[in-house]
Amino acid sequence: MRKKIVAGNWKMNTDIREGITLAKEVNRLIAENHVSYTTVILSPPFTHLTEIVKSVNLNRISVSAQNCSSEPKGAFTGEVSANMIKSTGCTHVIIGHSERRTYFKEDNFLLNKKVKHALQNDLIPIFCIGEILKEREEGKLFEVVKTQLEEGLFNLSREEFSNVVIAYEPVWAIGTGITATPLQAQEMHAYIRKLIAEKYDAEIAENTSLLYGGSCNAGNAKDLFSQADIDGGLIGGASLKADDFYKIITSF
């Protein structure tokens, strides 16, 4: 059975003291309320990873990086490799977030290299895909998402692919306060699952966790997560407040 997952993408927010406080607060809420049916992931900046790993109960919370290098090691000033991330105690890494695609011009081929490095280092990639508003308005949303999957993931072996989590994040919904309706999100999630079944098989498709991201919050998470093909969320802004994040975690 596929996992229910709620992952908090802190982006470039919190200094290390604030990050530890936030992680400990999420940890406390989860422990006190015995939440065990959802995989909870915190994704702080690189600088915080080691401390956040130490601050939470790793049986209840997993820690993720927000990006990794496409190269394994060497003269790449400022880069952080999958192996380095793994050595902090992280288990996941977000790859292909729309902010990386837009501001850092990361394309599907580069992202595919990152996915492979992550998998080689035993990290679970949370691979982000999604269309921009113009593409949706022009009716190209399915085509765009299909290409992102084909170029970014579909050269993985069946075994490799079974370790990937996918986040559908319509770019027009990220950080805008405009959320995809549950039906819009479900429609795309069902389409993604169909593509996975066609490329691999029905079993893999059934077992792949598909997360929704884009202005998901404590008020709308329940409606989104109740959709048949939505297995949780990748949460930006609302993951920076422990209480809100906790409400989302318990929205299944």
For ligand PEP, the binding residue among 175, 181, 207, 243 (CB under 6 A) is 175
Say whether 169 is catalytic: yes
Per-residue contact track with ligand PEP, 3 to 42, x per CB under 6 A? Answer: ------x---------------------------------
Rounded to whole angstroms, what are the CA distances from 153 to 38, 114, 125, 135, 211? 25, 10, 10, 21, 16
Per-residue contact track with ligand PEP, 97 to 136, x per CB under 6 A? Answer: x---------------------------------------
Specify the residue, 19 or 236, whose C-beta has the smaller distance to ligand PEP.
236
Cβ atoms of 127 and 115 within 8 Å: the answer is yes
For ligand PEP, the binding residue among 23, 234, 248, 249 (CB under 6 A) is 234
**Span from 68-76, 141-149, 195-203, 230-238 in contact with ligand PEP (CB under 6 A):** 230-238
221 is an interface residue for ligand PEP by CB under 6 A: no
Buried b / exposed e over 228-250, threshold 16 CB at 10 Å, is ebbbbbbbbbbbbbbebbbbbbb
What gap in Å lies between CA 89 and CA 156, rounded to an integer?
Answer: 24
216 is an interface residue for ligand PEP by CB under 6 A: yes
- The half-sphere exposure of 70 on its side-chain side, counting CA atoms within 13 A, is 11
